């Protein structure tokens, strides 16, 4: 009896699944490149008019607090497609040195939709830092379209708009003089940290024009859906792929780098799957880790346990649930040839930023960034001493931690970390962020070159097996947050550790303490001369240079001559550029003959040499 029943039961189940697939909503993601929410008047009174995106909001939901977890495309887009924090799964570096495998049990979410009967199309940008795997897209090309799906087949379509990309602001002085903008430059409102010059005004006005072009392109895509009779069966998401694009946005964990516009058009037919009526503004926090899980949940599919995000639309998701979400975690690591290590936690109105290498400065050279005239002019004005105190911050060493009240200081220029009135908030957010970094665990506590050699065949497994050690490294790094007298004994203990990465981080801590740590100069000199780990010797030389106690050139040159890793060479060169362009202005003699022939032509090594040769 049971055997005879198998085929009819299977056919019944198959028929039901087809009916359910045909009755599932479609999804469209319209993704603009490199723009934060600040450029749209819909989100910011100083932004450009976007009537078509505004109409979407009237027919759906506007999310007032939507965040990319990273302020650059490859890391942000990998987070979108996986639902996972990049520093946990090894995808945090832009762009990838190694394309890493996904954690066990995880697929890019369009593959899951496809397996459930969806037609998946991408037009066209991917830019993942993880191995894509099989069966993610039915089509991914400049011509990809939902129109080639099967009859009645639900679909997910992702479309990227390049019109707002950073490269649109790579114009010449001649172009600026000859090409007028539709937006009047005198009408735009500059951020207080930007110098008020014709270059900055023209750049912002030109970008407002680009935002208006974006709005037209979004409207055209909506028109295609409507003409195909699909608009009222489709959730349409519009959002930026991360923040940007004027200086101090893309590549930085300030709000301009992470806070993105998000509007979701909700079909009336599917209103019951939205947590609020159409036309509502939703104040709850959502992040890119949540976007993939949201689509799976809307499609009636289970969300894998391995992801970090939670759905913010779909059956059982209430407005009360969404509005209780008030945290967003951000991270910034390597951007092309420029290294940094910064983490942020926004909780409600307050934003906490932890700079793990605070002797660094935001304006450190990145060749691609400085192709923008506004970037180059800003640095030149800094050299000439023509900037205000707020405008100079971009070219000065940072505090190891910063606290901003975004209601009174939306531009994040007034650091409240030393204000006794906010001491309790500082301690709370410091603890929360430290716990977050430890719990991931955050792989960036190891240098990228070490991860390439030891972790990137299975990053998440490596992180879990080294979770205790990463937690210890976080504690050593956080010694720079204590008064030196309180941290001194632990610093001395870590300098004698058998673990090279404990020595690595405690030397960074010494650099962060500055003059207060001068008693460790002798220990650092010994480490710089003879430590077994090349990058530990580098950090010792860096500390001695920050102290003004020794010329770091010999140690750096020896490290560059001996390394066979282009990733490690790039990190060493980052320190060289920092010390050359920083306050002490060390002079270095360097050319390609210093490098082993196997890494001489590596992309980021060549970029640094190009800059250093000027």
Phi, psi dihedral angles at 59 (to 5 degrees): -100, 20
Angle at 97 between CA 94 and CA 99, to 5 degrees: 95
Tokens in use for 512?
A: 């962060």
The alpha carbon of 524 is separated from its chain's Cα centroid by a whole number of angstroms, namely: 34
**CB count, 10 Å around CB of 464?**
14
3-state secondary structure of 40: strand
| Gap between the Cα atoms of 488 and 456, Å rounded | 35
| Gap between the Cα atoms of 216 and 210, Å rounded | 10
Strand order in the sheet with 234-240: 139-140, 119-123, 155-161, 26-32, 234-240, 259-265, 60-67, 280-287
Cβ atoms 293, 333 nearer than 8 A: no
Report CA torsion sign: 116, 117, 118, 122. positive
Closest among 376, 370, 395, 373 to 203, alpha carbons compared: 373
Compute CA distances 369 → 87, 330, 339, whole Å. 23, 20, 13
Which H or E run includes 65? Answer: strand 60-67
Pairing assessment for the beta strands 26-32 and 350-355 based on DSSP bridges: unpaired
The alpha carbon of 55 is separated from its chain's Cα centroid by a whole number of angstroms, namely: 29
3-state secondary structure of 539: helix
Instruction: Go through 213-228 and write b for each residue having 16 or more CB atoms within 10 A of its CB, e for each that does not.
Output: bbbebbbebbeebeee
Which one from 73, 84, 480, 510 is the annotated catalytic residue? 73
Query: Any catalytic annotation for residue 5?
Result: no
Compute CA distances 218 → 221, 238, 455, whole Å. 5, 8, 41
Cβ atoms 81, 300 nearer than 8 A: no
Write the DSSP string, 354-407: EESSTTSBTT---TTGGGSHHHHHHHHHHHTT---HHHHGGGSBPPSEEEEETT
Instruction: Go through 181-198 and write b for each residue having 16 or more CB atoms within 10 A of its CB, e for each that does not.
Output: bebebeebeebebbbebe
Closest among 557, 493, 471, 484 to 517, alpha carbons compared: 484
Cβ atoms 278, 59 nearer than 8 A: yes
Q: Which residues are catalytic?
A: 73
């Amino acid at each position: 009896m049971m055997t005879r029943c198998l085929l009819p039961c299977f056919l019944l189940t198959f028929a039901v699944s087809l009916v359910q697939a045909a009755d599932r909503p479609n999804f469209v993601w319209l993704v603009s490149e490199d723009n934060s929410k600040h450029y749209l008047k819909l989100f910011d009174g100083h932004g450009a008019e976007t009537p078509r995106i505004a109409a979407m909001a009237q027919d759906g939901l506007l999310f007032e607090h939507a965040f990319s977890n990273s302020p650059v495309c490859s890391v942000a887009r990998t987070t979108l497609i996986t639902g996972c924090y990049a520093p946990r799964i090894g995808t945090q570096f832009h762009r990838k040195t190694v394309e890493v495998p996904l954690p066990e049990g995880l697929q890019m979410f369009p593959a899951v939709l496809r397996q459930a009967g969806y037609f998946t199309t991408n037009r066209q940008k991917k830019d993942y830092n993880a191995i894509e795997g099989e069966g993610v897209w039915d089509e991914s090309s400049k011509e990809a379209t939902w129109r080639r799906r099967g009859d009645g087949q639900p679909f997910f379509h992702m479309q990227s708009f390049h019109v707002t990309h950073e490269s649109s602001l790579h114009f010449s002085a001649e172009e600026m003089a000859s090409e007028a903008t539709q937006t009047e430059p005198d009408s735009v409102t500059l951020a207080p940290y930007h110098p008020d010059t014709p270059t900055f005004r023209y750049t912002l006005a030109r970008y407002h024009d680009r935002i208006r072009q974006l709005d037209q392109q979004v409207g055209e895509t909506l028109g295609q859906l409507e003409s195909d009779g699909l608009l009222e069966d489709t959730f349409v998401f519009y959002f930026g792929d991360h923040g940007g694009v004027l200086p101090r946005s893309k590549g930085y964990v300030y709000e301009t780098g992470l806070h993105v516009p998000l509007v979701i058009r909700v079909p009336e037919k599917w209103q019951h799957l939205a947590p609020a009526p159409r036309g509502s503004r939703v104040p709850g926090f959502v992040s890119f880790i949540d976007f993939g899980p949201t689509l799976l949940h809307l499609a009636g599919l289970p969300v894998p346990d391995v992801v970090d995000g939670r759905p913010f639309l779909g059956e059982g998701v209430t407005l009360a649930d969404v509005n209780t979400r008030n945290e967003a975690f951000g991270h910034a690591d390597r951007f092309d040839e420029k290294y940094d290590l910064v983490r942020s936690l926004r909780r409600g109105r307050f934003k906490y930023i932890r700079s793990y290498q605070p002797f660094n400065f935001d304006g450190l050279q990145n060749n691609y960034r400085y192709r923008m005239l506004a970037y180059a002019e800003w640095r030149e004005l800094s050299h000439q001493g023509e900037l205000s105190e707020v405008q100079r911050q971009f070219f000065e060493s940072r505090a190891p931690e910063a606290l901003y009240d975004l209601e009174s200081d939306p531009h994040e220029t007034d650091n409240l970390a030393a204000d006794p009135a906010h001491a309790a908030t500082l301690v709370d957010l410091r603890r929360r962020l430290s716990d977050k970094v430890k719990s991931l665990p955050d792989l960036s506590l190891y240098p990228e070159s070490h991860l390439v050699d030891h972790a990137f065949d299975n990053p998440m497994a490596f992180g879990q097996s080294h979770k205790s050690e990463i937690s210890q490294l976080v504690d050593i790094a956080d010694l720079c947050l204590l008064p030196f007298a309180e941290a001194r004994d632990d610093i001395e203990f870590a300098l004698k550790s058998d673990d090279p990465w404990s020595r690595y981080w405690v030397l960074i801590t010494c650099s962060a303490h500055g003059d207060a740590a001068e008693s460790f100069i002798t220990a650092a000199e010994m480490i710089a001369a003879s430590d077994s780990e090349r990058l530990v010797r580098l950090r010792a030389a860096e500390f001695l240079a920050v102290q003004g106690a020794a010329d770091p050139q010999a140690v750096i040159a020896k490290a560059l001559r001996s390394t066979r890793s282009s990733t490690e060479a790039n990190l060493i060169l980052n320190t060289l550029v920092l010390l050359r362009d920083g306050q002490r202005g060390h002079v270095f003699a360097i050319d390609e003959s210093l490098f082993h022939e196997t890494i001489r032509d590596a992309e980021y090594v060549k970029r640094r040499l190009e800059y250093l040769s000027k």
